[in-house]
Chain A
Amino acid sequence: MRQLNLSGTLTILLVLAVWEAAIRSGLVTYEYLPAPSAILVASWTLLRSGELAAQTLHTIGAVLLGWAIASVVGLSLGLALGYSRTVRTYLEASLELLRPLPGIAFLPVALLIFNFSLSTELAVMIFASVWPVLINTMGGIMSVATRLHDVARTLRLTPARTVTRLLIPAAAPSIIVGCRLGLGTALVMAIIAEMLGNPHGLGYAVVSELQAMQPERMFVYVLAIGFLALALNAALVAASRLMLRNRG
């Protein structure tokens, strides 16, 4: 049972209060720094107009779709690499050369090919999120394969059964960690793509409000992104705890 962090909550409230007072009293005149109250008002406006919901849904949808595809690709490749030494010999070095490419440098290439569309967003997300899933899956499978190889042989399991009944469940913790990291990466890449490539979603909203000189509305979207990140992470932690609940 978690106790309420009193001093922590008080600190946040204090920061907000000081912020509000500083702006109102004119002590701090940052032309573009809105007061917390103004942000609150703007968030109400955006909620009522449905814009906040629309942009949020777009980002969530894109993230989940991109993450799902990346996970499938990453899992399959990771499985193949982890299971077969031959595959590793003929593929690993290529992947290791591609991995250091930051996803963001890939964005202009995606723009060239797909223009300003959802495909750009998905392409960038997938390119970046595949890696954590792939690496963790490969690592997980490799670390259990050595132990379980003999078990599979002595029980005379077919390769298919070895993979599905033995290796994947045993490597599940690593795989889940990889998927969690992949989701985080997908969110970051989605925001980046929306800022620069696909004019939809929370990332786009932030930049467009910035350019329209609407700081209150911009902050609303910034906070929305922050809370979305927290919510996705919390959901994933809960889901992984559920999936691993029978283990020690």
Chain B
Amino acid sequence: MTSPRLLAGLPRLRGVLPLLLLLILWQVTAPARSPYFPPPSTWWTSFEAMSRSGRLYPALASTVLTFAAGLAIACLAGAVLGMLIGTSRAAKRALEPLLEFCRGLPPPVIVPVAVLLLGYAESLKLLVVVWVAMWPILLNVAAAAERVDPLLHDVARSFRLGALASLKKITLPSIVPPLMIGVRVAVPLAIIITLLVEMITMLPGIGSLIVTAQRNFRSADVYALLVLVGLVGFVLNSLFVIVEDLLLRRFPPRMHKLQ
């Protein structure tokens, strides 16, 4: 088929029909004040109301900031620790069982433990996000650092690069693609955990807004916030894709995928 690329994507838009039909059906059949299934038009009105009341944007900012800061710190910590573990066989063997256990621990469990140890402080949110988002990054970087092509080690020695130069010129660039793969996994995880912490601790953020709305049976608010969360997630993911593209442009295409 020789249809131009842009037009080739359009027929897929037909796939939106079921969702659209569902929303329309919902709008038409649900009573305006339904406690469980308020029609979509009410979502928009409650969104406007929340937005005007001044509660929405500070909460949104808090959530997005925690996510961004947490992810950034997790990248740094994951990269550094991953490199340390990946390049030292002794460290890897000593820490392996501990790492496996921490990795397998479902992220939600971290929240009560952190609350116990740190109390309901703002730093709690950030620390939990960092901890949870760090693991996929750390593990990916460690695996990659371990697997740097031995031939590159020979090249480094043949050109008499010192240990520091070796690290900077060969090991570090080699881990950028796996780092991005780890971050790709960490992004949705960080979003979920940020919301979870807010929901459990009621610290400021979209999560606590949703819980408040639900406890007060303001169902339209709940749905409106749900859509908002979906949109925010979509935007954050798209931003990540752009950054990933920029960083991986100079790497051969085969390294962009999971190995």
**Which A residues lie at the B interface, using CB under 8 A?**
5, 7-12, 15, 30, 32-33, 88-98, 100-109, 111-113, 187-188, 191-192, 195-196, 203, 206-207, 210, 215, 218-219, 222, 225-226, 229-230, 233
The 6 closest A-B pairs by CB, nearest first: A93-B15, A94-B19, A108-B214, A105-B229, A8-B97, A7-B94
Most chain-A CB neighbours within 10 Å: which of B35, B90, B210?
Answer: B210
- By size class, the interface of chain B is 35 or more
Q: Give the residue of A108, A218, A229 whose beta carbon is less than 8 angstroms from that of B105.
A: A229
Decide yes or no: A226 and B108 within 8 Å by CB, A207-B200, A210-B115 being known contacts.
no
Q: B1 interface residue, CB < 8 Å from A?
A: no
**Which B residues lie at the A interface, using CB under 8 A?**
11-20, 35-36, 90, 93-98, 100-101, 104-109, 111-113, 115-117, 188, 191-192, 195-196, 199-200, 210-211, 213-214, 217, 219, 222-223, 225-226, 229-230, 233-234, 237
User: In the bound complex, how far is the Cα of B90 from the Cα of A222, in angstroms?
Assistant: 29
Query: Which chain B residue lies CB-closest to A210?
Result: B112
User: In the bound complex, how far is the Cα of B112 from the Cα of A203, in angstroms?
Assistant: 10
Instruction: Let me know if B95 and A11 touch, CB within 8 A.
Output: yes
**Inside 8 A of A187's CB, which chain B residues have their CB?**
106
User: In the bound complex, how far is the Cα of B98 from the Cα of A10, in angstroms?
Assistant: 11
Instruction: Let me know if A203 and B116 touch, CB within 8 A.
Output: no
20 further A-B contacts with Cβ under 8 Å, apart from A90-B17, A108-B211, are A9-B97, A10-B94, A33-B116, A92-B12, A92-B15, A93-B15, A93-B16, A94-B15, A94-B17, A98-B19, A101-B233, A106-B226, A108-B214, A108-B222, A108-B226, A196-B199, A196-B200, A203-B108, A225-B105, A226-B104
**Inside 8 A of B16's CB, which chain A residues have their CB?**
93-94, 97
Q: Give the residue of B15, B106, B108, B210 whose beta carbon is less than 8 angstroms from that of A90.
A: B15
User: In the bound complex, how far is the Cα of B16 from the Cα of A102, in angstroms?
Assistant: 19
User: In the bound complex, how far is the Cα of B108 from the Cα of A3, in angstroms?
Assistant: 33
**Inside 8 A of A191's CB, which chain B residues have their CB?**
106, 108-109
Instruction: Let me know if B210 and A113 touch, CB within 8 A.
Output: no
User: In the bound complex, how far is the Cα of B119 from the Cα of A30, in angstroms?
Assistant: 11
Instruction: Let me know if A89 and B11 touch, CB within 8 A.
Output: yes
Q: Give the residue of B96, B115, B188, B196 whose beta carbon is less than 8 angstroms from that of A192.
A: B196
**Inside 8 A of B200's CB, which chain A residues have their CB?**
195-196, 207
**Inside 8 A of B217's CB, which chain A residues have their CB?**
112
Query: Which chain A residue lies CB-closest to B19?
Result: A94
Query: Which chain B residue lies CB-closest to A225?
Result: B109
Query: Which chain A residue lies CB-closest to B11?
Result: A89
Min Cβ gap B258→A in Å is 12
Query: Which chain B residue lies CB-closest to A32?
Result: B116
Q: Give the residue of A12, A33, A102 whose beta carbon is less than 8 angstroms from that of B229.
A: A102
Chain A to chain B contacts (Cβ below 8 Å), 11 pairs? A8-B93, A90-B14, A94-B20, A97-B19, A109-B223, A112-B214, A192-B196, A195-B200, A196-B211, A222-B105, A230-B100
